[in-house]
A and B are shown apart, each in its own frame.
Chain A
């Protein structure tokens, strides 16, 4: 059952990630948003709104030409990096050290989760070890204690 569920999950994941992978206009949009305009405006290529911007117009033309030539994503990125420099890529996708950029935040989060879970476990164990059995308090003290807890945790207080 568990194995079947995992297989189903994998199929859904693969199907989902493959969605939209084939449409040419989707590719143009996607790649156009993964490249930067190099005129210094710090805008995504397809979002540069400078009329007559010499860089974005030429870059868009290059992108269309590469797409029409049937180049792969990696080949297009390589072409742009060789022509405009590595900062033309809107995100680090060249592999190698660039991958560290992607791993960093998730490694931090993962490490944090592990650390928090470890802390929770340690605290829980310590609490179980240290928490004494409740002493025999007089009923009125227990009632007063309960009333106080209720007031401190109740709504409107």
Chain B
């Protein structure tokens, strides 16, 4: 046994595949027997239990496999082809760990590991609802089989180098990935992608078994929210990585791989909103089921785009035949979803209907429509080059200008709905309530617009015209004004609720607000998430006012930009075993006072690679108002002077602050709400069958008595 650890890794992967196949077959067989009341030699419940345990064991097996790969990285086992191509002896220890997901084979192994990890938790928590969990577990096992087939037969992480003789050193990790955020960005994103398998499995399982009531939504609510949070963090961390590493001054380039992560986020967000309609009113059942089906399929489509070479991307994996596997899986998934839906569609009949156009329900409908339109736009933009090549014979570029023209207005409409939706009541909103709820936000929008105009944000100004930025400045003006309106609406909602609590309890405003939030964590956590998203919108709007300047800077040279004076103190070169670097030391002054020294750097990585690869280390001075973003672009070959590019990027910090608020808000929404005595209130009364509310009250326990509480 010359390669014991790779052999161990391969064997455990094969074991995990076998266990997943068993979990799928045994689960499916037992559920078929139970559903039909068929008698078997062995009780179907016992077979179902063995399926569950096999699913748990598959997680342990693939964990061993992941450990084997990490072990190979840490012990510099370059006999493993994957380790040879993605690590080297000089690579820092934490990047050796991240090598697990820096290539196709490793990242697929990570995917399989996370999938079985989610399945592990799901299978441990099966007592919540044994049958539904069994369905979900079996469906998850089916998905596991696909990913294990990939890592066992197509993209093997433990493949031995040709000849079996380990080279002295590896090729190293892609320099662009040698960045702290790259250690956590991919796992976060994958946790988000993979996590949507769980609500998908529950939705499909609930539909297959014609699950009565909406409990499956309550069971999957936290799964979906956690998954959504992971995906949000993954996307934002990716944006920050692009901002800090790629050195082009922006954070979102509408690259197909970026788009691939945004699409399931948009449909997942739509799902998180529209399930409330089902919980509250028993409406939109078909819609919800299809939303989560589509979200799951979009995660697979995103992976297909990333790995198949179907679309050009700066950070897609190499083109490979693996795309065909994903296409096959996608088709199979769609077929199963369509068949299950057609077979059981009568189960999804809505129990209530809309009563008023001006209601929370209709706002959710429009919210969903806009989110789907945004998703379609992104999908359309991503795939149109392929379509164009098919129709016209030539590819076209769908760059940022296309998305800015199409997606930005849709985004602004969504922002508008973010403000309007929570202000409308369920069923119907009276004119008086509209007046009461909308006055303050409207005033704040008007005031903000006036203040911004006075402050010089004038889309029609000659400066805007000279920059060709009339439209973008107008969008920014509308976006910021609307954002302030939405924030006002959120604050008003908190204050209005806190005042009620204060009247009831006699506590002060702060304590009342905290109590209010604890009493309905989901509602007020949701408002905080909205607040975070609005902060992000403000940050995104700042991009309309970006400025940049490029200059050659030798010792003592200075430039002025937007109130900053930047003086070059020195520029030099350095070298270490991993890379060569050139850098400049720049002192930054604001109002005549030195505030920071920045050191933008340009590295050329060369260790064990057959070609040098440049990388940018951007220097950033961040404030709430703007970022001073400095890039060392290179040196002028004629005089060896460094060429530095300076960007002023307004409000970028608001995006990252928004993420923090979103995380906080989601955590609040995940916390069980404070139980009050009123929650146990039971009201017995005869309910006529036709009474709209009565139908719900008879069918399901009161939201007040349910573990999840009333939902907003």
Q: Are A30 and B468 in contact (CB-based, < 8 A)?
A: yes
Number of A-B contacts (CB under 8 A): 206
Q: Are B384 and A101 in contact (CB-based, < 8 A)?
A: yes
**Chain B 670-692 interface 0/1 with A at a Cβ cutoff of 8 Å (1 = within):** 00000010100101011010111
Q: Are A97 and B392 in contact (CB-based, < 8 A)?
A: yes
Q: Are B496 and A86 in contact (CB-based, < 8 A)?
A: no
With contacts A124-B353, A153-B425 known, is A90 near B399, CB below 8 A? yes
* Residues on the B chain within 8 Å of A47, using CB: 248-250
Complex-state Cα separation, A51 to B551, whole angstroms: 12
Q: Are B402 and A101 in contact (CB-based, < 8 A)?
A: yes
B357 at the interface (CB under 8 A from A): yes
Complex-state Cα separation, A130 to B688, whole angstroms: 13
With contacts A127-B353, A135-B688, A157-B704 known, is A102 near B406, CB below 8 A? yes
**Chain B 441-467 interface 0/1 with A at a Cβ cutoff of 8 Å (1 = within):** 000000000000000000010001111
| Interface residue from B681, B686, B704 paired with A137 (Cβ < 8 Å) | B686
Q: Are A86 and B683 in contact (CB-based, < 8 A)?
A: no
* Residues on the A chain within 8 Å of B388, using CB: 92, 97-98, 101
* Residues on the B chain within 8 Å of A112, using CB: 369, 372-373
With contacts A36-B399, A98-B388, A127-B354 known, is A20 near B314, CB below 8 A? no
| Interface residue from B248, B397, B683 paired with A49 (Cβ < 8 Å) | B248
A154 at the interface (CB under 8 A from B): yes
* Residues on the A chain within 8 Å of B253, using CB: 42-43
B702 at the interface (CB under 8 A from A): yes
For the complex formed, measure the closest distance between the CB of A134 and the CB atoms of chain B, giving whole angstroms. 7
Q: Which residue of A lies closest to B413 (CB)?
A: A109
Q: Are B373 and A92 in contact (CB-based, < 8 A)?
A: no
**Chain B 376-409 interface 0/1 with A at a Cβ cutoff of 8 Å (1 = within):** 1100110010001001101111111110011000
Complex-state Cα separation, A147 to B702, whole angstroms: 13
Q: Are B380 and A105 in contact (CB-based, < 8 A)?
A: yes
B515 at the interface (CB under 8 A from A): yes
Q: Are B691 and A51 in contact (CB-based, < 8 A)?
A: no
Q: Are A155 and B501 in contact (CB-based, < 8 A)?
A: yes
Interface size on B, residues (CB 8 A): 85
A2 at the interface (CB under 8 A from B): no
Interface size on A, residues (CB 8 A): 70
Q: Are B395 and A132 in contact (CB-based, < 8 A)?
A: no
B37 at the interface (CB under 8 A from A): no
* Residues on the B chain within 8 Å of A127, using CB: 352-355, 692
For the complex formed, measure the closest distance between the CB of A22 and the CB atoms of chain B, giving whole angstroms. 8
Q: Are B468 and A145 in contact (CB-based, < 8 A)?
A: no
For the complex formed, measure the closest distance between the CB of A68 and the CB atoms of chain B, giving whole angstroms. 18
Q: Are B402 and A156 in contact (CB-based, < 8 A)?
A: no
* Residues on the B chain within 8 Å of A156, using CB: 497, 500-501, 504, 515-516, 519-520
B208 at the interface (CB under 8 A from A): no
A82 at the interface (CB under 8 A from B): no
* Residues on the B chain within 8 Å of A26, using CB: 465-468
Q: Are A120 and B470 in contact (CB-based, < 8 A)?
A: no
Q: Are A42 and B519 in contact (CB-based, < 8 A)?
A: no
A23 at the interface (CB under 8 A from B): yes
Complex-state Cα separation, A131 to B354, whole angstroms: 11
For the complex formed, measure the closest distance between the CB of B159 and the CB atoms of chain A, giving whole angstroms. 29
Q: Are A91 and B249 in contact (CB-based, < 8 A)?
A: no
Complex-state Cα separation, A58 to B402, whole angstroms: 24
Q: Are B401 and A145 in contact (CB-based, < 8 A)?
A: no
* Residues on the B chain within 8 Å of A131, using CB: 355, 690, 692
Complex-state Cα separation, A7 to B468, whole angstroms: 27
A141 at the interface (CB under 8 A from B): yes
With contacts A92-B402, A134-B691 known, is A42 near B255, CB below 8 A? yes
Q: Which residue of A lies closest to B688 (CB)?
A: A135
For the complex formed, measure the closest distance between the CB of A63 and the CB atoms of chain B, giving whole angstroms. 13
Complex-state Cα separation, A130 to B313, whole angstroms: 54
Complex-state Cα separation, A105 to B470, whole angstroms: 23
B633 at the interface (CB under 8 A from A): yes
Complex-state Cα separation, A135 to B497, whole angstroms: 33
For the complex formed, measure the closest distance between the CB of A121 and the CB atoms of chain B, giving whole angstroms. 9
For the complex formed, measure the closest distance between the CB of B512 and the CB atoms of chain A, giving whole angstroms. 9
* Residues on the A chain within 8 Å of B460, using CB: 16, 19
* Residues on the A chain within 8 Å of B142, using CB: none
* Residues on the A chain within 8 Å of B643, using CB: 51
B187 at the interface (CB under 8 A from A): no
For the complex formed, measure the closest distance between the CB of A106 and the CB atoms of chain B, giving whole angstroms. 7
B604 at the interface (CB under 8 A from A): no
From 301 to 338 in chain B, residues with beta carbon under 8 angstroms from any chain A beta carbon are 312-314
* Residues on the B chain within 8 Å of A20, using CB: 464-466, 468, 470
* Residues on the B chain within 8 Å of A119, using CB: 354, 365
A104 at the interface (CB under 8 A from B): yes
Q: Are B396 and A92 in contact (CB-based, < 8 A)?
A: yes
B167 at the interface (CB under 8 A from A): no
A67 at the interface (CB under 8 A from B): no
For the complex formed, measure the closest distance between the CB of A118 and the CB atoms of chain B, giving whole angstroms. 11
Q: Which residue of B lies closest to A91 (CB)?
A: B402
* Residues on the A chain within 8 Å of B468, using CB: 20, 23, 26-27, 29-30, 33
* Residues on the A chain within 8 Å of B57, using CB: none
From 111 to 148 in chain A, residues with beta carbon under 8 angstroms from any chain B beta carbon are 112-113, 116, 119-120, 123-124, 126-127, 130-132, 134-135, 137, 141, 144-145, 147-148
Q: Are B380 and A91 in contact (CB-based, < 8 A)?
A: no
Complex-state Cα separation, A157 to B356, whole angstroms: 24
Complex-state Cα separation, A30 to B467, whole angstroms: 8
Q: Are A52 and B520 in contact (CB-based, < 8 A)?
A: no
Q: Are A105 and B384 in contact (CB-based, < 8 A)?
A: no
A25 at the interface (CB under 8 A from B): yes
From 69 to 99 in chain A, residues with beta carbon under 8 angstroms from any chain B beta carbon are 85-92, 94, 96-98
* Residues on the B chain within 8 Å of A106, using CB: 406
A10 at the interface (CB under 8 A from B): no
Q: Are A152 and B691 in contact (CB-based, < 8 A)?
A: no
Q: Are A104 and B380 in contact (CB-based, < 8 A)?
A: yes
* Residues on the A chain within 8 Å of B10, using CB: none
With contacts A86-B396, A97-B391 known, is A41 near B380, CB below 8 A? no
Q: Which residue of B lies closest to A108 (CB)?
A: B376
Complex-state Cα separation, A36 to B643, whole angstroms: 22
| Interface residue from B467, B520, B685 paired with A157 (Cβ < 8 Å) | B520
Q: Are A147 and B683 in contact (CB-based, < 8 A)?
A: yes
Complex-state Cα separation, A25 to B464, whole angstroms: 11
Q: Are A152 and B515 in contact (CB-based, < 8 A)?
A: no
| Interface residue from A23, A49, A91, A155 paired with B399 (Cβ < 8 Å) | A91
Complex-state Cα separation, A141 to B633, whole angstroms: 76
B645 at the interface (CB under 8 A from A): yes
Complex-state Cα separation, A10 to B247, whole angstroms: 43
Complex-state Cα separation, A119 to B373, whole angstroms: 17
Task: Return 18 A-B CB contacts under 8 Å, by A number.
Answer: A20-B468, A36-B397, A42-B312, A49-B247, A49-B248, A51-B643, A85-B394, A98-B388, A100-B384, A101-B388, A105-B410, A109-B370, A124-B357, A127-B352, A130-B353, A145-B685, A148-B704, A155-B516
Interface pairs A-B: 7 shortest CB-CB: A51-B634, A155-B497, A20-B465, A90-B399, A132-B690, A30-B468, A123-B354
Known: A26-B468, A105-B377, A130-B690. 9 other contacts (CB 8 A): A23-B466, A43-B253, A51-B643, A89-B396, A105-B410, A113-B369, A145-B683, A153-B426, A157-B520
Which residues of B line the A interface, CB within 8 A? 247-250, 253, 255, 312-314, 352-357, 362, 365-366, 369-370, 372-373, 376-377, 380-381, 384, 388, 391-392, 394-402, 405-406, 410, 425-426, 460, 464-470, 496-497, 500-501, 504, 515-516, 519-520, 631, 633-637, 643, 645, 676, 678, 681, 683, 685-686, 688, 690-693, 702-704, 709-710
